[in-house]
Structure 1
Amino acid sequence: MSLPKEDKKYTYTDYLTWPEHERWEIIDGLPFMQSAPKWEHQSISSELHRQISNYLLDKPCRVFASPFDLCLVEDNENDDDISNVVQPDIVVVCDETKLRKTGYFGVPILIIEISSPSTAIQDRVVKFNRYEKAGVKEYWIVEPDGKYINVFTLQENKRYGRPEAYTEEDKVYVTVFPDFTVDLKLVFDGIPNN
């Protein structure tokens, strides 16, 4: 079992050999280790998952929370050669045929990342660009410290437009599910102001 080195390009095959108790992602073949999230992160994730899961009860889509491998396929890569394996905090998928092995091999309809100081650049730049390029229709970045969310929606030109910003007093209108809103009061309930 070899641990990743920063000077090599890695694939899903390499990823499967790394210790299970460690959380890794691969973006463009480069490894990134993830640290354990704070309780506030887990509280926000749990409530988002609960609201989305309740909405999807009788629908063909499913919601998953991290740890869950999302393998973003590029240029007809086969599963073993995929060089983008990420673990979004929340992911909604609508094609169950792409659920296999350790997660989902395709493009989800919605991804939510709960940002922290240690993941801010990854969430706002690296993953933003990767998700946009892959064609993820809706991407949320949750900011626990400020209790707000930026929602990016893929436009006709295959780029994310200006974000819609929501605070803890708002309800988020989910573009990919027009009859669904997420109540942010419940999401941020009990999270201290920083």
Structure 2
Amino acid sequence: MQPDLMIICDLDDHLDERDYYTGVPALVVEVLSESTRSKDIVKKLDLYMESGVSEYWIVNPFNKEITIYHFEHCDVKSVSTYKQNETAPSSYFDELEIEMNRIFK
């Protein structure tokens, strides 16, 4: 799977001889499109959770919302959806917050 955006915190420990990343990203972001919507919401959610990703953000430009899944021990620990006039905080990165009004105008 190739996510739209991923944050890698262990790059030095997980590069192979071709400089290909072989580890697990801390945070993965997918932006929904009509053609990949069900794949992103179902298949990728399960794959990222089972592979050890800590946080998965699904950006929905159609509804102008972000759904954040926080995983722990290959299970969903929490899920929250944020809309206009709200701030979406990361549960993994203390300083990361996204103001929804800045993303969706």
Does the TM-score normalized on the shorter chain lie above 0.5? yes
Superposition TM-score, scaled by structure 2 size: 0.87
For 1:141, give the aligned amino acid: I
CA distance in 2, matches of 1:110, 1:104: 14
CA distance in 1, matches of 2:87, 2:44: 25
Aligned-residue identity in percent: 31
For 2:97, give the aligned amino acid: T
Of 78, 83, 96 in structure 1, the residue corresponding to residue 11 of structure 2 is 96
CA distance in 2, matches of 1:171, 1:103: 34
Matching residue of 1:147: 64
1:56-67 equivalences under 5 Å are: none
CA distance in 2, matches of 1:124, 1:148: 14
Matching residue of 1:161: 77
Higher relative contact order (Cα pairs below 8 Å, separated by 6+ residues):
2
Consecutive unaligned residues in structure 1, runs of 5 or more: 1-85, 190-194
Superposition TM-score, scaled by structure 1 size: 0.49
Q: 1 or 2, which has the higher strand percentage?
A: 2
Structure 1 outlier segments of 4+, above 4 Å: none
How far residue 120 of structure 1 moved from its aligned partner, in angstroms, is: 1.1
> How many residues are aligned here?
103
RMSD over aligned CA atoms reads 1.6
Of 171, 186, 189 in structure 1, the residue corresponding to residue 87 of structure 2 is 171
